[in-house]
Amino acid sequence: MTTTHCPYCALQCAMHVDPTPDGRWAVRPAEFPTNKGGLCRKGWTAGELLTSQERLTAPLVRPRRGAPLEPTDWDTALETVGTRLADLQAQYGPNAVAVFGGGGLTNEKCYLLGKFARLALGTSRIDYNGRFCMSSAAAAGLRAFGLDRGLPFPVTDLAGAQTVLLAGANPAETMPPLMQHLNRSRLIVVDPRRTPTAERAVASGGLHLAPRPGTDTALALGLLHAAHAQRLVDRTYIAARTTGFEQAWSHAAEWWPEQVEHVTGVPADLVREAAQALGSAAAEGGAYVLTGRGTEQHASGTDTATAWINLALALGLPGREGRGYGCLTGQGNGQGGREHGQKADQLPGYRRIDDPESRRIVSEVWGTDPDALPPAGDSAYELLASLGEADGPRALLLFGSNPAVSAPHASHVRERLSATELLVVADCVLSETAGMADVVFPVAQWAEETGTMTNLEGRVLLRNQVAPPPDGVRTDLHVLAGLAHHLGQPTERFPTDADEVLAELRAVTAGAPADYSGVTRERLEAGASLHWPAPAEGTSHPRLFVEEFAHPDGRARFVPVAHHPPSETPDAQFPLVLTTGRAMGHYQSGAQTRRIEELSRAEPDAYVEVHPDTAATYGLLQDDWARLVSRRGAMLARVRTRTAIRRDTVFVPFHFGGAQTANDLTNPALDPTSRMPEFKTAAVRLGPASPPNGDNPRPRQLDSVADPSICEQGRNHSGARDDRR
């Protein structure tokens, strides 16, 4: 038996992984503060992919464009890539090669990937899929608090909350074990859909506020207005610990509840009731505001996240016992992924790449000249959209991501991927992006290597190796080291041992905002609870901002923000608003979960959630196939009618590829600060369609689960979930 952590979301539930007599791996939950002995169905089935018949176990090379991928040996694959990278850079310069990473990579991989891009390749063109995940909340947190850590307090603090507002978050489906920490709280859920989280809120006496997609900023401003009118604003806290309230209030002053109702569709009396519930709980010492992707994946997402922060600051929540503001990070290492150098504008430890002192410190550890480090490059979508262009990258190295499915305007991204002269993908299965590659490196999975992860509360975790990788499979660290060698780098500069990489990460982050200098394998194995900053001398910081915020004057900043409509609104040609998100049984682009039988059986197809009246308007019934069309593309999805969704809104999960790719519809309009694309609103039309691939229509197959949001803590004797527990 080995104890490790789940390969999926940022809750990073602890689990035991045991070998079975038939050569497979069984997973069961372990006690840990975040999951309290619970797992969702994704966690329960995580072991299945380790022995999947779809595992890649040999490098693949495409001899020429249009030809199929063929197995080859590692030396040939590495030499092929190394030679072609060198040739392209010799002809077009260092920025001819781009690197794209992922928020599921370990801290060691994230760090070495950023170092590889900037040192071995000398390219400024590196970013990662976390840009699509939490960049707006990160930008808002940095300017408000001076530091970004998703939750600046432990998850366990939520258990004492009287009221919790969840804006654009659906943890009952996306991270079910988190709901155990909210069982005693009155929930206020902000979401255009009646999600399982919203249903839980209403059933337990809470509130569901269902704004029109893209109007969250107006709602947050309206809640601040209502709190101010009801004398719930904490003037003492504002005077002692913040600056800029009056300027922020000047924007909220015009958003009285009736005006909010006109713009958002949320009844004015619900706005007042929500403000009263949250403000009263804040005064009594038990209130939190938590945000998620739904409120920030917009072209104005940074301002929207800021509006929620302004509300939290006005109520005196951040940095106080029993109160707080935080953002629910999505990907498993979404926090660590943006801290250690695979983001275009950052160096390890949350150091800024445009800061001379940060460049000096990092260069000293790396043994290079600070002036040799490239500047900041393009953000994720801009990087992908420039592939193969005259002044764009000619080659792309991709680790831990599947942008052919997950990127906005995905059809255009696939065109640009096809336009590269060299596409190299490291993955454990042949994802949609890997299937387009010229070279594919088969790499180890979560349970086949050791490394550290940083979860949504800034807790650094040790992911233990359960079993060695299959023959023919190497780790991402080995891939980077092999490529660096072929590019002429000294062997010692790119270690293949995770502990060696962590030692270097400790050195390079010492004294940085995200200080990991006190993080060691020995401390983690001994059960130490390490939340960054975790300096070598001193203690780690599970609760940030208790005494002061991270700005030089120690105060948090109110930032004035205004409501801006979505960059694309419905019209006669595209009369409905599309919003996208996650389903309980799948994760991210589905490259892993669609290969797990139980999960695929439960959700075999993309679906479009639509109000029955809206469906009838377009001649659609439950389980029909529908075609959704936006200005950028089209997709097929099976109809799922629900009376609790707005009539002007349709919802589609983004876990499916091929003809069912939701992101073929989404809008790549970017937030001016975070460069986050507008995933959550797009104008679409809806109509009947034939089944994909000529399949016969069939009823949707579902597990018989009374409440799919229940945290699954036990299984019955046959190994199937026991959902009664």
CA separation for the pair 158, 184 (Å, rounded): 9
In this predicted model, what pLDDT tens digit does every residue of 40-52 receive, in sequence order?
999 999 999 999 9
Domain boundary among 327, 355, 370: 327
Whether residue 29 is found in the same domain as residue 100? no
Residue 697 has pLDDT above 90, yes or no: no
Whether residue 316 is found in the same domain as residue 370? no
Whether residue 181 is found in the same domain as residue 289? yes
Confidence bin at 711 (pLDDT 50/70/90) = very low
Which pLDDT does position 538 carry in this prediction? 83
In this predicted model, what pLDDT tens digit does every residue of 151-200 receive, in sequence order?
999 999 999 999 999 999 999 999 999 999 999 999 999 999 999 999 99
208 belongs to a structural domain: yes
Q: Which percentage of the chain shows pLDDT scores above 70?
A: 96
Please state the rounded mean pLDDT for residues 202-228. Answer: 97
Kindly report the pTM of this predicted structure.
Answer: 0.93
449 belongs to a structural domain: yes
491: helix, coil or strand? helix
Spatial CA neighbour of 121 closest among 150, 94, 140, 101: 94
Whether residue 91 is found in the same domain as residue 167? no
Confidence bin at 694 (pLDDT 50/70/90) = low
Domain that holds residue 238: 135-327
In this predicted model, what pLDDT tens digit does every residue of 403-414 receive, in sequence order?
999 999 999 999
Q: The domain that contains 459 carries what CATH number?
A: 3.40.50.740
716 belongs to a structural domain: no
> How many CB atoms neighbour CB 262 within 10 A?
10
Domain boundary among 476, 502, 517: 517
Which pLDDT does position 721 carry in this prediction? 38
Whether residue 112 is found in the same domain as residue 156? no
Whether residue 503 is found in the same domain as residue 611? no
299 belongs to a structural domain: yes
Q: The domain that contains 609 carries what CATH number?
A: 2.40.40.20
Residue 514 has pLDDT above 70, yes or no: yes
Whether residue 69 is found in the same domain as residue 151? no
543 belongs to a structural domain: no
Whether residue 305 is found in the same domain as residue 235? yes
Please state the rounded mean pLDDT for residues 646-666. Answer: 95
Please state the rounded mean pLDDT for residues 622-645. Answer: 96
- Phi and psi at 346, nearest 5°, equal -130, 150
For the chain, the straight-line distance linking the first and the last C-alpha, in angstroms and rounded, comes to 24
Domain count, the chain: 4
Query: Within its chain, how far is the Cα of 560 from the centroid?
Result: 26
541 belongs to a structural domain: no
Whether residue 151 is found in the same domain as residue 249? yes
CA trace torsion 627, 629, 635, 636 (10° rounding): -10
Which pLDDT does position 329 carry in this prediction? 87
49 belongs to a structural domain: no
Strands 60-61 and 439-442 come out as antiparallel
Long-range contacts (CB closer than 8 Å, 24 or more residues apart) made by 517-524 = 519/452, 519/460, 521/462, 524/452, 524/460, 524/461, 524/462
Q: Which percentage of the chain shows pLDDT scores above 90?
A: 90
Q: What is the mean pLDDT of the chain?
A: 93
Confidence bin at 528 (pLDDT 50/70/90) = confident
Domain boundary among 310, 327, 344: 327
Under DSSP, the state recorded for 464 is: -
- What burial letters (b/e) apply to 339-375, b meaning 16+ CB within 10 Å? bbbbbbebbbbbbebeeeebbebbbeebebeeeebbe
354 belongs to a structural domain: yes
Q: The domain that contains 239 carries what CATH number?
A: 3.40.228.10
Under DSSP, the state recorded for 595 is: G
Whether residue 262 is found in the same domain as residue 164? yes
In this predicted model, what pLDDT tens digit does every residue of 71-94 receive, in sequence order?
999 999 999 999 999 999 999 999
Which pLDDT does position 418 carry in this prediction? 97
User: Under 8 Å CB-to-CB from 93, ≥6 apart: which residues?
Assistant: none
Q: The domain that contains 6 carries what CATH number?
A: 2.20.25.90
Which pLDDT does position 716 carry in this prediction? 33
Whether residue 338 is found in the same domain as residue 392? yes
**220 and 167 Cβ atoms separated by less than 8 Å:** yes
Whether residue 142 is found in the same domain as residue 273? yes
